[in-house]
Structure 1
Amino acid sequence: MGNTDSVVVQKRLARFRPDEIPVIDGVFDRLIETGSSVSFGKTGKVLSVDMLKMSMGKMTSESMIKRVFQGIHSVDPGVPLPSGGGVSREQLVIFLADILRGTAEERAPLVLAMAEEAKATAATSEQIQGLVEDLVSAAVQTLIYRGHLRAWQPDRMGDGTQGARLLAEQLTSELKFSDQNMCDIPCLEDWLFRIPAMAMFLELLIGEGLGIGLPSRPPPTLLPQCRYAPWSDLHCLLHLPLLMFLSPQLPAGYSAPWSLLFSTNLHGESFTRLVGNCKGRGPTVLLIKDTKGHIFGGFASQSWEVKPQFQGDSRCFLFTVFPFMRVFTCTGYNNHYMYLNKGQQTMPNGLGMGGQHGYFGLWLDSNFGHGHSRARPRCTTYGSNQLSGEEDFKVDTLEVWGVGQPPEEQEQDEKSKKSILDADPEVQAIMEMTGKTMHSQGLREPEEDEG
């Protein structure tokens, strides 16, 4: 950074740690050096879109690279701009600072520039949708190229291309468009403030695409860890955009690795096997594809237990994946969160979430392969509409993923937190020999006899 840098550039660089400033300030020269050619304007070197392609081409589409270039080119650095259509060092530094360390107010004009080629004051819903779809696809491609998959295998998963479109539609649905179906800067500011996923996608694409490694801020983690899935025999319903959608919806603290508990492709169409594999296994995500092609499911915040009463709590929710992605959380109307029963004559036998007996928001009958989603007009527990293609549906594929810590692991963690005096009697003996006072000894509750 030299004395010729504008005040705007100096303020932006001040957001980074001293050891990170040379990294940000050096991106321009590195891109110039690795570019296929160097363009010169009246004020010196400028960065072209072709140079961005050299760095980002394997991680995103050409259309997204052009969008990034438009965003950089839209920056006003407070100094004379180069001629010839390229972008200057100052423009790039300000762009990087606003994408990687900026506020919603600073990112909004860049997002608008990336969505609309001309210098406009607003963009249409279609233009925003196109940008977000490009961005989600770029995030997925970047995760694959960089190997940040956390043990997931995209080639054994669902259609990620369709998933990117669905996730983009879901994210765009959160925008508060004007009556003319337009989105201006205040609209984008509000959206970026409420939807942190957009900032994460931008940070991942720019940080990884331009090879910017900042010690204080590693690339955002967009996928949960996969603990277990028999990939050689499995082709699952999940895809990377769906994981990027569902994982942030789980309550705080549900960050345990995902494990496949049940799949009709592996375990057959057996309600008994479903119950046996899922009962007592902690929180789960249930995912269903019906014979009409609709994909939907629910999150169970507690272990499934067989009993003739409703169970669970208000952290449960229902969701739909196709033909659109949405989450339906609890309304507070009742506590009919989860239900699992089998082998009784007086109560319904099956697995359900929300609503009431005979009118569940999501129901799987113990006569495996049949279910219903009766929500007229909406499920009372979750406010969801009909999830399936038809009210009474037939199952094509069913999967259950464990997404929380199983009860037995929780017990092990609790045991591991026992006092060191209990864990190692030798430590207690040494403390007594050296005259150390064991302050907690007289304060602890006596343990109950196990006899």
Structure 2
Amino acid sequence: MDIRNFFKKDSNVCVYGPVTEESIMGNADSALVQKHLFRFRPEDRPAVEGVFDRLQGDMRTPARNTVTFPMLQSSMIGVSPESMVKRLFKCMCSIDATPTASGKVSASLASGVCREQLLIFLADVLRGTAEEQAPLVLAMSQVGERSKTVTIQQVTEFLQDLIFAVVQILVCKGRLQGWKPENMGDSSLGVKLLAEQMCAELKPTDQEVYDVTHLQDWIFRVPQVSLYLMMLVVEGLNVSLSVQLTHTPLPPCKDTPWKEFKCLLDIPTLMFLAPQLPDAYCAAWRLVFSTMLHGENFTRMVAGLTHCGPTLLLIKDTKGHVFGGFASPSWEVRPQFQGDSRCFLFSVFPRMRVHTSTGYNQHFMYLNQNQQTLPNGLGMGGQHNYFGLWLDSNFGRGHSRARPKCTTFASPQLSADEDFILDSMEVWALRKPSETEKDDEGTGKKSVLDVDPEVQAMMEMTGKTLYSQGLREPQDDQEQR
């Protein structure tokens, strides 16, 4: 599901109409709060208003009718690091909520967060636009005194705290969708890389500082910022709404032999890759090949990735660079280029980047075996002998010859060296194969070629004609049950 569509659909339900004097409840001082509350459904407003009393809990005193930092921290234990709680608290305290004759005033950090400030904060995070969320991000990115601008370093540090909190929520709240962090890569490194990648989407400025206008444009173009903030607030403050946040940063994962498998991916890397995929490819990820499980066997890899729908290839070279490609259609062994413009190349270490089609040519995917005149191996982008990503059929070696950039995807050299040595590789199928791709998969009788696709691939390599294809007996109704 496209995150932008999620926000668009949600805003159509909850955006309020014109506020009139008759529609405002309470005195003039509460008009701003009521205006923000009207963004929520009528049935959700009591739950939103109840957050303030719930945060105070047993710590509430007649002398101080505010939410203090210890109160907020108590609610978010196990959900967010203390540094992120401090950012939230400072942001809430900075909100202008009480109009006066001389203008607007805001509470100080020492006085805590009043009810009006909290309600405005909730409305802007959960139902606000990029324009309304930009001042919040500005406040949360600042460490010292308030300023009208922030540096790239400040935004990066804010994102690291936010992403770390989201990873903690996914783990502690059981939202992992079948992934096993203990059998995956280092999330702390992934947090830093994902924060840097998201910050790279900020448009450069002459002074290398960013104001609310710059942040507004950035939040609109990088909707994960809003999504992560929503997750943190909904889970950390236990906000129960009738329309719950249904989008998750992680794709589901099924049928992975975690007891024998150590994944190249980590949670933040999945959070980076999932939004890059086309909307149609949001089904459960299935591991169809791994050098750890199946060895360095090109024929076994071909048997795993062909006829299984869209796939994501992940490669690690012996110098630590991790990169790969997304293939939108099923792979086929043939001496021609295949694929479409939805394919892309990417890197995840030493930095996270995605490189999409330039439209310059149609050299998206190439997979070939047992040819004497054409290259034998797997390639994506570029041209013969100069692929953006190439894995030789002898396995173990490949290249990323993209100087200055790959013509198909405008990707730079992905591997540490132009010609690299493979350390490990994984292939993930991203949705169930269609009926035409199943190739007689099911409960009925199977040919030996179906039972062992490696045998089929070996026969094809030796030039054997598979006469049994197309000559199988039809299954009767009893056998199909």
Q: TM-score, normalised by structure 1?
A: 0.88
CA deviations 1:142-185 (Å, max 9, x no partner) are: 11111111111111111111111111000000011321110100
Q: Assess if the C-alpha contact under 8 Å between 2:307 and 2:438 holds in 1.
A: no
Q: Assess if the C-alpha contact under 8 Å between 2:382 and 2:408 holds in 1.
A: yes
1:365 equivalent to 2:388? Answer no
Matches within 5 A, 1:38-57: 38=60, 44-57=64-77
- Give the letter aligned to residue 10 of structure 1: Q
In the alignment, which of 98, 114, 119 is matched to residue 146 of structure 2? Answer: 119
Q: Assess if the C-alpha contact under 8 Å between 2:308 and 2:438 holds in 1.
A: no
| Correspondence for 2:408 | 381
- 1:372 and 1:359 mapped to 2: Cα distance? 8
Matches within 5 A, 1:259-270: 259-270=286-297
Q: Assess if the C-alpha contact under 8 Å between 1:299 and 1:316 holds in 2.
A: yes
In the alignment, which of 16, 36, 52 is matched to residue 28 of structure 1? Answer: 52
CA deviations 1:371-404 (Å, max 9, x no partner) are: 0000010001000000000000011110000012
- 2:231 and 2:214 mapped to 1: Cα distance? 23
- 2:419 and 2:78 mapped to 1: Cα distance? 45
1:3 equivalent to 2:23? Answer no
| Correspondence for 2:8 | none
| Correspondence for 1:309 | 336
| Correspondence for 2:43 | 19
| Correspondence for 2:455 | none
| Correspondence for 1:331 | 358
Q: Assess if the C-alpha contact under 8 Å between 2:124 and 2:133 holds in 1.
A: yes
| Correspondence for 2:124 | 98
| Correspondence for 1:445 | none
| Correspondence for 1:286 | 313
Matches within 5 A, 1:39-438: 44-79=64-99, 84-117=110-143, 118-408=145-435
Q: Assess if the C-alpha contact under 8 Å between 1:360 and 1:375 holds in 2.
A: yes
- Give the CA deviation at 1:408: 3.1
- Give the letter aligned to residue 70 of structure 1: K
CA deviations 1:176-200 (Å, max 9, x no partner) are: 1321110100000000111111000
- Give the CA deviation at 1:82: 5.7
- Give the CA deviation at 1:215: 1.4
SS state of the match for residue 254, structure 2? strand
- Give the CA deviation at 1:409: 7.7
- Give the letter aligned to residue 47 of structure 2: V
- Give the CA deviation at 1:71: 1.0
- Give the CA deviation at 1:78: 2.3
CA deviations 1:205-247 (Å, max 9, x no partner) are: 0111111121113353111111221111111011111111111
SS state of the match for residue 66, structure 1? helix
With 372-381 and 224-233 compared, the bigger mean Cα shift is at 224-233
- Give the CA deviation at 1:411: 7.4
Compared CA separation, residues 252 and 81, structure 1 to 2 (3 A): closer
CA deviations 1:92-131 (Å, max 9, x no partner) are: 0000000000011110011000001321100011000000
- 1:177 and 1:331 mapped to 2: Cα distance? 23
CA RMSD between the two structures: 1.8
SS state of the match for residue 111, structure 2? coil
Q: Assess if the C-alpha contact under 8 Å between 2:283 and 2:432 holds in 1.
A: yes
Q: Assess if the C-alpha contact under 8 Å between 1:154 and 1:240 holds in 2.
A: yes
SS state of the match for residue 228, structure 2? helix
- 1:255 and 1:87 mapped to 2: Cα distance? 40
Compared CA separation, residues 335 and 257, structure 1 to 2 (3 A): same
- 1:177 and 1:346 mapped to 2: Cα distance? 48
- Give the CA deviation at 1:70: 1.0
| Correspondence for 2:454 | none
- Give the CA deviation at 1:85: 2.5
Q: Unaligned regions of 5+ residues in structure 2, if any?
A: 1-23, 100-104, 440-473, 475-481
| Correspondence for 2:7 | none
Q: Assess if the C-alpha contact under 8 Å between 2:93 and 2:107 holds in 1.
A: no
| Correspondence for 1:417 | none
| Correspondence for 2:13 | none
Q: Assess if the C-alpha contact under 8 Å between 1:297 and 1:320 holds in 2.
A: yes
With 7-16 and 177-186 compared, the bigger mean Cα shift is at 177-186
CA deviations 1:240-285 (Å, max 9, x no partner) are: 1111111111112111110000001100010011011111111000
- Give the letter aligned to residue 90 of structure 2: Q
- 1:285 and 1:411 mapped to 2: Cα distance? 18
- 1:405 and 1:144 mapped to 2: Cα distance? 26
Q: Assess if the C-alpha contact under 8 Å between 1:115 and 1:130 holds in 2.
A: yes
With 320-329 and 149-158 compared, the bigger mean Cα shift is at 149-158
- 2:411 and 2:76 mapped to 1: Cα distance? 40
- 2:212 and 2:191 mapped to 1: Cα distance? 24
Aligned length: 409
| Correspondence for 1:422 | none
- Give the letter aligned to residue 58 of structure 1: G
- Give the letter aligned to residue 22 of structure 1: P
CA deviations 1:338-361 (Å, max 9, x no partner) are: 000111111101000000110000
Q: TM-score, normalised by structure 2?
A: 0.82
